[in-house]
Amino acid sequence: MTNEELKQRFTELLPGAIYDETGEFLNVIINSEVLLPFVKELRNNDTLSFDYLFCLTCVDWKDHLMMVYHLLSKDHKHTVVVKAKITDITNPEIESVSSIWKTANFHEREVYDLFGVKFLNHPDLRRIFLDEDWPGHPLRKNYVDENMIEI
């Protein structure tokens, strides 16, 4: 399906979505509360069937966190990037999608480890790279580390 059809289908599912086509893929920007039902529909709907989540990450824009989900449908060969905006920076929280795509389990643990975003009802939310008692979350822009030699 082309971007127009996709956009038209998404507005049916979620009227409040904002679209951005400047980049290579169609970006759908929604806020983090409505993520899970919307994304579950993307996965289970036969005409959309986004079954391959190939990149899940987070970008720290200083005033808000943006969760980015790159989705591809193996059957229909169309791609969409779902961006969930988390406004609460102090303790960011979002629904976990690991029940839909099993690859999200590890990716979400990495985002929790490096960004501090808590994923609700994630099966096994532990820090994946750093020790449990590591102060702070390194990839946040406000992360400060005294023994990191910076240039």
Partner 1 sequence: MSALIEEDYITEEGEFVINIGPQHPSTHGVLHIKAWLDGETIKKVQPHLGYIHRSIEKMSESLSYRNFIFVTSRMDYISAHINNEACALAVEKGLQIEAPPRAQVIRILMAELTRLASHQLWWGATGLDLGAITPFFHAFREREAIITIMENTCGARLTQNYMVPGGVMYDLHPDFQKETKAIVKQVKEKLGEYEDLLTGNVIFEQRTKGVGYISKEDAISYGCSGPTARASGVSCDVRKWFPYDGYDKVVFDEVLDTGGDCYARYMVRMREMVQCCDIIDQLIDNIPEGDFQAKTKNVIKLPKGEFYQRVETARGELGVYLVSDGAASPYRIKYRSPNFSNLSALEHMAVGGKIGDLVAIMATLDLVIPDIDR
Partner 2 sequence: MDIKDEKLKLEFPGQVHPSADGGILVTKLDEVINWARSNSLWPLVFGTSCCAIEMMSAADAKYDWSRFGFEVARATPRQADLIIVAGTIVMKMAPVLKRLYDQMPEPKYVIAMGACTISGGPFFYNTYSVVKGVDHVIPVDVYIPGCPPRPEALLHAMITLQEKIKHEPYFRKAKEDTK
Which residues contribute to the site for partner 1 (CB under 8 A)? 22-25, 51-55, 57, 59-60, 68, 70, 74, 77, 101-103, 105-107, 110, 114, 127-131, 138-139, 150-151
Residue 105 binding result from partner 1, partner 2, none, given CB thresholds of 5 to 8 Å by partner type = partner 1
- Among candidates 82, 86, 76, which has minimal Cα distance to 38? 82
Output 9 or 70, the one with its CB closest to partner 1: 70
Which positions lie near partner 2, rule CB under 8 A? 129-131, 138, 143, 145, 147-151
Instruction: Look up residue 30 and give its amino acid.
Output: I
CA distance 89 to 73: 32
Instruction: Look up residue 114 and give its amino acid.
Output: L
Residue 25 binding result from partner 1, partner 2, none, given CB thresholds of 5 to 8 Å by partner type = partner 1
Q: Is 91 exposed, middle or buried, given 0-12, 13-18 or 19+ CB atoms closer than 10 A?
A: exposed
Output 35 or 53, the one with its CB closest to partner 1: 53
CA distance 118 to 31: 16
